[in-house]
Amino acid sequence: MYLQVLEELAARWAAVAVAVSVHGLSCFPLATFGTPAQQQRWLVPALAGEQVGAYSLSEPQAGSDAAALTCRAEKTADGYRVTGTKAWITHGGVADFYALFARTGEGSRGVSCLLAPGRADGLSFGRPEQKMGLHAVPTTTAHWDGVTLDGDRLLGAEGQGLPIAFAALDSGRLGIAAVATGLAQSALDVAVAYAQERTAFGKKIIDHQGLGFLLADMAAAVDAARATYLDAARRRDAGRPYGRQASVAKLTATDAAMKVTTDAVQVLGGYGYTRDFPVERFMREAKVMQIFEGTNQIQRLVIARSLAKG
């Protein structure tokens, strides 16, 4: 039901839906690995909508290869001192808390997850990135310059950070798949409405078979996208493994959104290329969905690895 709500939000404004989905992603470590005391203190206001969260895994030199992250959380007498630079943070600078992944040791088992506050001495943010789309949501770098955090801000065990990060992304990818589906549905709706109005060569353009087939392929892509995220979500609700299905859904739905929004611009002809119609915005918003929460190359890697495991 949550995913269907995201789909509906995205059909109106993808940036709002992405913001809700990223908030859910940032709550995942606390909701899944936090102690009852941590959840009482931080999850309750987050779920009540009083606080907005951000998820901070990526770094300037470590995106797809998350295990290459270098931000450090050095142990102190009563907690941690965090030093390093994180990148690409949706809600950066405006979030009330950060699910922050930082190094407490070496190698892939040397990363931990900390629930960091949004404001602290030594914490500063870069200017918002000048993005192609999703302008309503800020994306920034964050500089942690010896920020001290209490020990009770550790989520899960020390060294468990990457498994927590990847579990959160499995769940988050369902959100992005639903958002991409809503965006694609909206583009299809605008294209169909336009094709029923516009005439060329004496008939409505939807009645030209070449264009009708384009619309048919767009509709098939939207339906397929929706089916994949619902399939993964049902597996998740049933308590079954769903990582591979989440990657299939993210890959299918975001590729569908890119294709359908691009084709919607085509259906509208020259008008599609202007800001008088929303389809050019849809196309710019679709592009990033093939990139964040694991690029679509990384989704293929996840699927291929699960096939290799048998």
Which residues, other chains included, contact 166 with Cβ-Cβ below 8 Å and sequence gap of 6+?
Answer: none
Q: Which of 231, 256, 258 is nearest to 246 (CA)?
A: 231
Nearer to ligand FAD, 156 or 294 (CB): 294
What are residue 203's phi and psi, to 5 degrees? -145, 165
Q: Does 131 engage in binding with ligand FAD (CB under 6 A)?
A: yes
Element (H, E) at 141: strand 139-150
Partners of residue 140 on adjacent β-strands: 89
CB neighbours (10 Å) of residue 148?
Answer: 13
Q: Does 35 engage in binding with ligand FAD (CB under 6 A)?
A: no
Shortest distance, position 56 Cβ to ligand FAD, whole Å: 6
Q: Does 290 engage in binding with ligand FAD (CB under 6 A)?
A: no
CB neighbours (10 Å) of residue 254?
Answer: 30
Of the candidate spans 83-91, 179-187, 258-266, 279-287, the one that interacts with ligand FAD by CB under 6 A turns out to be: 83-91
Of the candidate spans 77-85, 214-222, 245-253, 289-297, the one that interacts with ligand FAD by CB under 6 A turns out to be: 289-297
Q: Does 31 engage in binding with ligand FAD (CB under 6 A)?
A: no
What mask, x for binding ligand FAD by CB under 6 A, covers residues 132 to 171?
--x----x--------------------------------
Among 100, 177, 265, 288, binds ligand FAD (CB under 6 A): 288
Are 58 and 98 a contacting pair, CB within 8 Å? no
Shortest distance, position 101 Cβ to ligand FAD, whole Å: 8
Are 165 and 173 a contacting pair, CB within 8 Å? no
Shortest distance, position 140 Cβ to ligand FAD, whole Å: 10
Nearer to ligand FAD, 95 or 206 (CB): 95
Q: Does 58 engage in binding with ligand FAD (CB under 6 A)?
A: yes
Q: Catalytic residue, from 7, 280, 285, 293: name it.
A: 293
Among 124, 297, 304, 305, binds ligand FAD (CB under 6 A): 297
Q: In angstroms, rounded to a whole number, what is the distance separating the alpha carbons of residues 137 and 131? A: 10
Q: Does 90 engage in binding with ligand FAD (CB under 6 A)?
A: yes
Q: Does 15 engage in binding with ligand FAD (CB under 6 A)?
A: no
Q: In angstroms, rounded to a whole number, what is the distance separating the alpha carbons of residues 293 and 270? A: 33
Q: Does 57 engage in binding with ligand FAD (CB under 6 A)?
A: yes
CB neighbours (10 Å) of residue 294?
Answer: 24
Instruction: Find tokens 């499995």 and name the residue.
Output: 170
- Report CA Rg, the chain: 21
293 is catalytic: yes
CB neighbours (10 Å) of residue 106?
Answer: 8
Among 22, 102, 113, 225, binds ligand FAD (CB under 6 A): 22
Among 13, 28, 42, 55, binds ligand FAD (CB under 6 A): 55
Nearer to ligand FAD, 56 or 186 (CB): 56
Dihedral sign for Cα atoms in the order 37, 38, 42, 48: negative
Are 14 and 134 a contacting pair, CB within 8 Å? yes
Nearer to ligand FAD, 5 or 68 (CB): 68
Q: Which of 206, 195, 171, 199 is nearest to 277 (CA)?
A: 195
Binding site for ligand FAD (CB under 6 A): 22, 55-58, 63-64, 88-90, 131, 134, 139, 288, 291-295, 297-298, 301
Residues designated catalytic: 293
